Amino acid sequence: MIESDLREILSDVGITQADFARLIGVTPRAVALWMSGERAIPGPAESYARLLQSLPANLRQVELARLKNRRNDMRDGMYSVQFESISRAGQGIVILDTGRAYGADTVGCKFDGEYIFNEVTGLADLDLKITYPPNVASVFGTQHPYEWSIELKTSLNPRVDAGTLQITTPLGPDLKATYKFLRTLPES
């Protein structure tokens, strides 16, 4: 499929690029790159567009109603996080961006992972991998002379500007933290 084919399908179906992006769970920027020919249209996006076009009008309306009725409670953006254990404290930034989560803290740790917005609970459930530089101690005191990483899980409420987190790691008891919404992501 080329960009003119996708443009024709969206026109036939009567939806905008932004609505198509929301239907398939990508950023509007991704669709804009496909439409300009700067990036190839991925197979799943092409298949969904063709399927949407082939649906009878009444079923197409059901799918478009799903878009209109979808709760839009997930607020992607930049969040500050402050965490503390008995022996140490720290702070960092986590960015939530259409299912991806990434960031860093003040001692050079990198956060990489993903989140899923749970429409039932209204929470963003995060799975992150924290990568520590050599000789940097975790908030639990664990330290190695080489780069190392751990997995963690937590959930946050993206509809509120600040809240608490309970972070689960394999290193010890759950870690208590607070978060604060800093800003939305720029439109690209």
CA 92, 81, 183, 95 dihedral sign is positive
81 lies in the same domain as 155: yes
Give the whole-angstrom CA distance, residue 109 versus residue 179: 17
pLDDT at residue 97, as a whole number: 87
Which 8-state DSSP code applies to residue 86?
Answer: S
Report the predicted TM-score, pTM, of the whole model to 2 decimal places: 0.64
82 lies in the same domain as 65: no
Residue 9: both structure tokens together: 């399908």
pLDDT at residue 55, as a whole number: 86
Asked if 23 and 48 count as a contact pair (C-beta separation under 8 A), the reply is yes
Which 8-state DSSP code applies to residue 39?
Answer: S
Give 110's pLDDT tier (boundaries 50, 70, 90). very high
DSSP H or E segment with residue 82:
strand 77-84
Q: Reduced to 3 states, what is the DSSP secondary structure of residue 77?
A: strand
pLDDT at residue 108, as a whole number: 94
Domain termination site, one of 69, 92, 116: 69
Would the pLDDT of 74 be above 80? no
105 lies in the same domain as 38: no
Please state the rounded mean pLDDT for residues 141-159: 94
Q: Which domain holds residue 132?
A: 77-183
Q: Is residue 188 part of a domain?
A: no
pLDDT at residue 72, as a whole number: 57
Asked if 180 and 80 count as a contact pair (C-beta separation under 8 A), the reply is yes
Residue 41: both structure tokens together: 């249209």
36 lies in the same domain as 14: yes
Give the whole-angstrom CA distance, residue 102 versus residue 7: 32
Give the whole-angstrom CA distance, residue 52 versus residue 20: 10
Tell the burial category of 87 from Cβ atoms under 10 Å away from its Cβ (0-12, 13-18, 19+): exposed
pLDDT cut 70: percent of the chain above it: 95
151 lies in the same domain as 110: yes
Q: How many CA atoms lie within 13 A of 182 on its CB side?
A: 15
Asked if 113 and 128 count as a contact pair (C-beta separation under 8 A), the reply is yes
From the CB of residue 43, how many other CB atoms can be counted at a distance below 10 Å?
Answer: 9
pLDDT at residue 70, as a whole number: 54
pLDDT at residue 174, as a whole number: 87
63 lies in the same domain as 141: no
Q: Is residue 178 part of a domain?
A: yes
Please state the rounded mean pLDDT for residues 48-60: 86
Give the whole-angstrom CA distance, residue 127 versus residue 168: 10
> How many distinct structural domains can be found in the chain?
2
